[in-house]
Amino acid sequence: MHLQLAWRNIWRNPKRTAVIMTAIIIGVWSMIFLGALMRGISEGMVRNGISTLTGHIQIHHTGYRNDPVIENSMPDPEAVKTVLNKVLAPDDMWTFRVRVNAVANNARHTEGVTFVGIDPAREADISFIGKAVTEGRYLRDDDTNGIVVGKALMDTFETGLGRKIIVMSQDTNREIASRAFRIVGVFTAEMEATEKQFVFVTMTAAQQLLKLKKSISEVSLVLPDQNAVAQVAKQLQAALPATEYEVQTWLDLLPLIRAYLDIYDKFMYIWFIVVFIAMGFGIVNTTLMAVFERIREFGLFKSLGMKPLWIIREVLTESFFMLLIGTAVGNILSFLSVFVLSGGGIDLSSFASGLEFAGMSRIIYPAIYGRDVIAANLVVFMLGLLVSVYPAVKAARFTPVEALTHT
């Protein structure tokens, strides 16, 4: 009957109950839905970062990360390949790359670029470039002088498919090496900066230009299970001589994104608290109103022999019901909102340049994390009950005589 009493009491003033439940619903919805948007943004940033040639793990010659010069190449890729075959699972993917800073120019323009020599077939499974060519074609193994450039770079150079572009860099003899390549494909990327930064040729062409023989600059790996990254990186580092090779995960390679993720995590919980504070005032206020409206009734309860603790329990049970319904509906609404947006996402292309600055995708797909949902519900539920203690104690502290004579 305690439950019945509490349940019926919350419906004594349906308008007031509806107002506070709406506040709880909006609070829970905003916590979960906006949390999912933020997770979607950070996931997009990670996805972009990983697919823009980073991968989950990279192997370099020791010192390459600090000084990515051609001297810090790995001269014996076969040794690395042997380790990869030994350590990796069949589903894990990897590719070799030559990667140096270079200057690209044509008759009118000159730009600094990252010159990347790739294994076209393997690279297509690892990074964005395999699916990013929108004009012309992707590289083939036998492309000795074909080059794929970004659309933004092509526009800057005022050039087009079939035209030549000259790439200059330093070779292993510390001489300037340069060569003309013909544009066979144009790629578009999530960010304009990527389109301007990277130019792709086959690995053989890059090795020939830079006189690298069989040397490579980096190995990039993508694992089907992202949770296995740290473990695999550890195994690879153990299997490779530490004096010659360094193995790093995407968290080491993308420190800015890592910092963003940390900030997002903290911001999320600050957001939860801010929403709750606004909602908490509503809960306290409404519950206090309900308590003061029923002072005589609490006096009656006491005169009938109800102990103060039981009165506190009674008021808290009423809050419990309101919180239960509010959080349930808030959860359903937020899941529905995420479901509706999960297909097309939220297209923010019109803000693309601003988003790019922050490393965000143009389209945000909300991502619900179980721990965020649990945290949001716990915050609302536990703190909701906690703030209801004040009006409940207030109700329990009326003396029967003053309560019964209250008008």
Partner 1 sequence: MNIVECIDVTKTYQQGKIVVTALGGVSLSIEKGGFVALAGPSGSGKTTLLNIIGGLDSVDSGHVTVNGSNLDAMNQSELANLRLHNIGFIFQAYNLIPVLSALENVEFVMLLQGVPSAERRERARNILDDVGLKDTYNRRPAELSGGQQQRVAVARAIVSDPAIVLADEPTANLDSKTGQGLLEMMKEMNEKKKVTFIFSTHDKMVMDYARRLVLIRDGLVAGDEVKEGSGESESRDRGN
Binding site for partner 1 (CB under 8 A): 1-2, 4-5, 8-9, 12, 296-297, 300, 302-308, 310, 399-401, 404
Distance of closest approach, residue 18 Cβ to partner 1, in angstroms: 17
Nearest residue (CB) to partner 1, 211 versus 307: 307
Distance of closest approach, residue 49 Cβ to partner 1, in angstroms: 58
Distance of closest approach, residue 16 Cβ to partner 1, in angstroms: 15
Distance of closest approach, residue 229 Cβ to partner 1, in angstroms: 58
Nearest residue (CB) to partner 1, 7 versus 339: 7
Distance of closest approach, residue 2 Cβ to partner 1, in angstroms: 8
Closest CA to 123 of 206, 15, 41, 209: 206
Per residue, the 3-state secondary structure of the chain, as one string, reads CHHHHHHHHHCCCHHHHHHHHHHHHHHHHHHHHHHHHHHHHHHHHHHHHHHHHHCCEEEEECCCCCCCCHHHCECCHHHHHHHHHHHCCCCCEEEEEEEEEEEEECCCCEEEEEEEEECHHHHHHHCHHHHCEEEECCCCCCCCCEEEEEHHHHHHHCCCCCCEEEEEEECCCCCEEEEEEEEEEEECCCCHHHHHHEEEEEHHHHHHHHCCCCCECEEEEECCCHHHHHHHHHHHHHHCCCCCEEEEEHHHHCHHHHHHHHHHHHHHHHHHHHHHHHHHHHHHHHHHHHHHHCHHHHHHHHHHCCCHHHHHHHHHHHHHHHHHHHHHHHHHHHHHHHHHHHCCCEECHHHHHHHHHCCCCCEECCCCCHHHHHHHHHHHHHHHHHHHHHHHHHHHHCCHHHHHCCC
Nearest residue (CB) to partner 1, 251 versus 300: 300
Nearest residue (CB) to partner 1, 31 versus 290: 290
Distance of closest approach, residue 305 Cβ to partner 1, in angstroms: 3
Nearest residue (CB) to partner 1, 163 versus 313: 313
Nearest residue (CB) to partner 1, 4 versus 350: 4
Nearest residue (CB) to partner 1, 16 versus 151: 16
Distance of closest approach, residue 295 Cβ to partner 1, in angstroms: 12
Distance of closest approach, residue 256 Cβ to partner 1, in angstroms: 59
Nearest residue (CB) to partner 1, 9 versus 48: 9
